[in-house]
Amino acid sequence: MPTALGYLTAFAALSNVAGATWNHNDYLHSPTADEIPNPNATGLKWGHAFDKATSFVSQLTLEEKVGLVSGTKGPCVGNIAPIPRLNFTGLCIQNGPMAFQQASYASVFPAGVTIASTWDKRIAYEQGSQLAEEFRGKGSQVLLGPVAGPFGRSALAGRNWEGFSPDPFLTGELFTETISGIQDGGVQACAKHYIGNEQETQRQPSQSKGGKTIESIFSNIDDTTLHELYLWPFQQAVKTGVATVMCSYNRLNQTYGCENSKTLNGILKGELGFQGYVMSDWGATHTGPKAISSGEDMDMPGKASSGPILWGSNLTEAAQNGSVATDRLDDMCHRVLTPYFYLNQDQGFPPIDPSSKQTNALVFDGPETYTDKNYTFGSVANVDVRGNHGDSIRKAAAEGTVLLKNVNTLPLQPPKQIAVYGNDAGYFTNGMSVFYFNGVRNYEYGVLPAGGGSGTGLFSYAVSPLEAIKQRVDYKKTLVQYLLNNTAIIEDDSAKMDALVPSPPDVSILVAHLPGEEAGNSIVDVLWGDVNPSGHLPYTIAKKASDYSFASLVNSTALSNTEDPTAWQDDFKDGDLTDYRHFDFHNQSVLYEFGFGLSYTTFSLARNMTITPTFQDRLSAEPPSAKTLFGGNPHLWDNLYRISTTVKNTGHTAGAAVPQLYLNLPKLPSTNSQILAERVLRGFDKINLKPGESRTVTFDLTRRDISRWDIVKQTWVIPEGKVQAWVGFSSRDFRAGGSFTPIP
């Protein structure tokens, strides 16, 4: 078996990025499963559950084993059929990260980008917990979310809103808090989409006019960027104990994500010690034995797919003729069952809500009875699982609302007149879901509390901003007028233009993102000051669209007529310079920087900063040798430094501050020629303070936080030299600074 160094070429670890030499040929090969075989699961901290899974698998027939890893038809978005003789009721897998996608009487929560704007780990955990309550109440064992891919490399990608932020640290913290909330509630979380899934265009193969298969987009990523950026949140998810990871549609360094032995066998299961199962995105499986040997454990949706059935009976045949080894099939089953037993889903899990057979009929198979599959349905349909979650949704969305500009306008005092403009202000006109029906797009007018696609939800209700404003005001004292037609509003000779763009510009700007079902109420709470805004941007707002061209999408019109099967190549030459890292490195001015957000009060930070080592002996550059556990070498998570400073509310209103810690890390000799970010986020907290109140804020730095990925040693290494630290209220608003030298 080749050494770790032998794998470097496949991930261009020795090439330079972000303006230095880029050799596309370095990305033309990825290691095969023969070079990096699948490591069998051992259970690790899931030991008792793994033992139960092993016992269960020993009782299965070959056909039952195949059924445990092959999707089939059923009432859910994804289905693993029951095994009645062993009291296994199957797995009901449902979308998605912000809602039980197609369900009656279920909540639609704020989107990932809104949760990221709260900069509040407690809110992320609470949303995960409440999502688990709803999925469990509807009889679904697996929640397809949260999202860390797309990571948000391109501001033009259409799916970034499902995830959190183009910063790995912010995404990693909120990603894992959400996972913990979901799984503490007894539901399996699915971390998706792994990895390099940064655009939707050409995410699946297409047919050229000449009949050739044009392959999916090729994401070509160097080893440093992969580890320090795109893998970062997934590594934390594995450490947290996520049940399943979804492999993505795209090719990564020329090999499809669901048959990439380097990323699945080598990194995810080997380097990170992942013990759960790798589930395909819907239709992302392209082969049978090849994908299985490369690390894919479950094919979705299987027989529900319109394409060829690659597993199922074909997998039975492959196991019989030796194309798939018996121990590999057993390992797949162990990986599927271990989280099931670990989360006690074999003990009184609620049956499937019968209404799933009808609601999924909107876009999927039904309505059908699926009596041949022995699914267990409850006796009562349309179970209401919403509880009091609307209150939490309203609070979270308000906490995620970002105040960008305020010139003596907000919070509103009892106004005499309110004018409401824009087609997002009113109620839905075409229904309660964002799916297409009979070729008609849902939204023409109406509040947009969620994006479209699989990551959305079916609203049981939604509160528009106009409705919430009307309910808030006293009609005897306040006149509310509105114009919802955007075309009419922006006409050059519109009589309303002077009112819309007053001079001087004393307007206020709030960014509410995608707030979920309580959209209008959460906005009104901030407008009137019931909630002091404390949201901060989880991305940068540039001055013009072309400023984001450093990470453009591959979307050339020339490729629409290509006959080249491998034409869709996306070289990630930008390296780790995503979002604020790019703008900071090039000292480029922006409209509103990453981490920015105003309040109705003011805060100060003490200029002095305390930096305290928390390790005892001399610090080694490389982590001490240890058995790989969840997330990799356990010493990567050792706390090595604590940084402290004081935050004070200097205004007259209670509010929440979001102090942020940024580090400038030295380079390693192996990456000395690479252009890397000037500063990176490595800590944040959200602190509620009364007027005049002060509080100490502390940031604990782990070994991984102050390390870089060494492409030669293939491990995390603390570089020699001084680490500069800054604490402030955004990526460009530093109030305190200091430095420390871990490795002289």
Task: Tell me the pairing of strands 218-220 and 251-252.
Answer: parallel
The CA radius of gyration of the chain, in Å to the nearest whole number, is 26
Q: How many whole angstroms separate alpha carbon 214 and alpha carbon 209?
A: 10
Nearest to 239 by CA among 704, 621, 660, 718: 704
Residue with tokens 């880029």: 22
Q: How many whole angstroms separate alpha carbon 605 and alpha carbon 648?
A: 6
**Peptide linkage before 193 cis (omega within 30 of 0):** yes
Q: How many whole angstroms separate alpha carbon 534 and alpha carbon 400?
A: 7
> What is the per-residue burial (b if ≥16 Cβ within 10 Å, else e) of 246-271?
bbbbbbbbbbbbbbbbbbbbbbbbbb
Q: State the alpha helices, DSSP H only, in 485-540.
A: 486-489, 497-500, 519-527
DSSP 149: S
Residue with tokens 């990221």: 116
Judge whether 469 and 415 are in contact, CB under 8 Å: no
From edge to edge, which strands make up the β-sheet containing 188-194? 78-80, 91-95, 142-144, 188-194, 244-247, 277-280
CA angle 241, 244, 248 (to 5 degrees): 130
Burial group, residue 692, by CB count within 10 angstroms (0-12, 13-18, 19+): exposed
**Peptide linkage before 411 cis (omega within 30 of 0):** yes
**Maximum separation of any 2 CA atoms in the chain, in Å:** 81
Instruction: Note if 700 is an active site residue.
Output: no
Give the type of residue at 166: P
Task: Tell me the pairing of strands 417-421 and 479-483.
Answer: parallel
| H or E element that contains 183 | helix 168-184
Catalytic residue among 167, 281, 299, 547: 281
CA angle 511, 540, 180 (to 5 degrees): 75
How many C-beta atoms lie closer than 10 Å to residue 555's C-beta? Answer: 15
Nearest to 132 by CA among 78, 173, 94: 94
Residues annotated as catalytic (active site), given as ranges: 281
